[in-house]
Amino acid sequence: MNKNTQIIDFQKMYKLKTPASRYSELSVSISEKGMLTISSSLFNKMENLITKL
């Protein structure tokens, strides 16, 4: 066996849950000037719901 080769036992590995990305959050924010901002995730979800109507 090549000394640079390792055998990986996938049965001994643990699956880690990745933290939620802030870009996947459904959010709305309003600036001090009154500007409304909708997250892209929320926008896409709303767009999908509208197209189904």
Q: What CA–CA distance (Å, rounded) separates 42 from 48?
A: 10
Per-residue pLDDT of the chain (53 residues; tens, 9 = 90+): 577 787 888 888 888 787 777 667 888 999 999 999 998 889 999 999 998 88
Q: What CA–CA distance (Å, rounded) separates 3 from 33?
A: 64
Give residue 22's pLDDT: 67
∠ CA 11-16-41 to the nearest 5 degrees? 135
pLDDT digits (tens, 9 = 90+) for 35-49: 999 988 899 999 999
Helix or strand or coil: residue 2? coil
43 and 27 Cβ atoms separated by less than 8 Å: no
